[in-house]
Amino acid sequence: MKRTRLCDLLGIEHPIIQGGMVWIANAELAAAVSNAGGLGLISPNAGMSPNDDQVENLKEQIEIAKSLTSKPFGVNLPILNNPHIEELVTAVINAKIKVAVTAAGNPALYTSRFKEAGIKVLHLVAAVRHAQSAERRGVDAVIAEGYEAGGHNGLDELTTFTLIPQVVDAVTIPVVAAGGIADARGVVAALALGADGVQMGTRFVATRECAAHQNFKEAILKASDTDTAITGRKLGPTRILKNEVASKILEMEAAGASAEDLLAFIGSSRSRTGQFEGDMVNGEAYCGSIAGMIKEIRSVGDIIRSIADDYGAVLDNLK
């Protein structure tokens, strides 16, 4: 696979990042991705109960990851509406983590603190103007995510295919493509659009190492191309597997429910109920529309190796 600027920036072999995934991107997953030559990311809530201490949980997860890999790994930090963000930032700095991936919020807030501590900062964006603003704030790279992606998406709902080349043309720092990538074809396509690497989420859910519940992993294997939907547009578009909860949210939206009513119905832990507890009726299962292509639960190493192995053949096909 091509060695890009992203590899040099992050000290990794393959330009592949495993995206943060709120309840399920645990130390085992992140370490497996880093050991396979990519960059694994831990999410502060991974594996914890809703009332547990998020900061202590992150510290624990970091220690576990350190015991499982000597390679660089990072932490995903959604900024907006997070009452513990200051303590989480301090925990990441104190633990001397190599990479912080900030999301859902203003990159002006923490970038300089991380950079002063020698930590590389990547910021998640979903529109050109946000990428330019993140670059001005001094981030080292942006992750540009199209709305094919699982989980929370940008308000403008741009596709990966249209977003990446426009962001690439608008900034000089490396751009990582996210949303709808799960094999070597997707990686080659992203690099052809000018990206320096990819971030994948949904593909890494259906792995042996991910903390996702088996029911969630199997639901991804069963999903077809049309089995995800964007819900919760009043709160922020969120791509989830179609199920009873998705139908209910869509019904409420069609009936004009307010943001408050939607929030009251969805709550803060319905996503945990689906993704970590495996309740595929009452839970929200964040999932990208590439799920229809994922047919097997595999090990992380196997997935990254096959992307590296298939990369050359995909390129040869273009000649």
Ligand X SMILES: Cc1cc2nc3c(=O)[nH]c(=O)nc-3n(C[C@H](O)[C@H](O)[C@H](O)COP(=O)(O)O)c2cc1C
Chain positions contacting ligand X, by CB under 6 A: 19-22, 43, 76, 78, 103, 124, 145, 148-151, 178-181, 199-203, 205, 275, 286-288, 290
Q: Which amino acid is at 147?
A: Y
Work out how close the CB of 133 gets to ligand X at its nearest, in angstroms, rounded to a whole number.
17
Report in angstroms the alpha-carbon separations of 281 from 86, 184, 187, 245, 307.
Answer: 35, 33, 33, 7, 33
The pair of structure tokens assigned to 203 is: 């593909």
Angstrom distance (rounded) from CA 65 to CA 115: 22
Give the residue among 237, 5, 244, 251 at the shortest CA–CA distance from 120: 5
By beta-carbon proximity to ligand X, the closer residue of 37 and 274 is: 274
By beta-carbon proximity to ligand X, the closer residue of 68 and 77 is: 77
Work out how close the CB of 52 gets to ligand X at its nearest, in angstroms, rounded to a whole number.
16
The pair of structure tokens assigned to 241 is: 């597997």
Q: Which amino acid is at 53?
A: D
Work out how close the CB of 319 gets to ligand X at its nearest, in angstroms, rounded to a whole number.
28
By beta-carbon proximity to ligand X, the closer residue of 37 and 180 is: 180
By beta-carbon proximity to ligand X, the closer residue of 62 and 319 is: 62
Q: What are phi and psi of 75, to 5 degrees?
A: -130, 140
Q: Which residue has the tokens 């992750």?
A: 143
Nearest 5°: CA angle at 41, between 305 and 52?
135
> What b/e sequence results for 167-176 when a residue is b if at least 16 CB atoms lie within 10 Å of its CB, and e otherwise?
bbebbebbbb
What does the CA dihedral 109, 115, 117, 118 come to, rounded to 10 degrees?
160
Q: What are phi and psi of 19, to 5 degrees?
A: -65, 155
By beta-carbon proximity to ligand X, the closer residue of 246 and 287 is: 287
By beta-carbon proximity to ligand X, the closer residue of 208 and 257 is: 208
By beta-carbon proximity to ligand X, the closer residue of 64 and 285 is: 285
By beta-carbon proximity to ligand X, the closer residue of 72 and 257 is: 72
Work out how close the CB of 16 gets to ligand X at its nearest, in angstroms, rounded to a whole number.
11
Closest chain position to ligand X (CB): 201
Work out how close the CB of 44 gets to ligand X at its nearest, in angstroms, rounded to a whole number.
9
Work out how close the CB of 292 gets to ligand X at its nearest, in angstroms, rounded to a whole number.
11
Work out how close the CB of 200 gets to ligand X at its nearest, in angstroms, rounded to a whole number.
4
Work out how close the CB of 172 gets to ligand X at its nearest, in angstroms, rounded to a whole number.
22
Give the residue among 32, 58, 56 at the shortest CA–CA distance from 43: 58
- H-type helices in 181-240, by residue range? 184-192, 202-205, 214-222
Neighbouring C-alpha atoms within 13 Å toward the C-beta of 46: 29
Work out how close the CB of 45 gets to ligand X at its nearest, in angstroms, rounded to a whole number.
8
Neighbouring C-alpha atoms within 13 Å toward the C-beta of 302: 10
Angstrom distance (rounded) from CA 131 to CA 146: 13
By beta-carbon proximity to ligand X, the closer residue of 82 and 261 is: 82
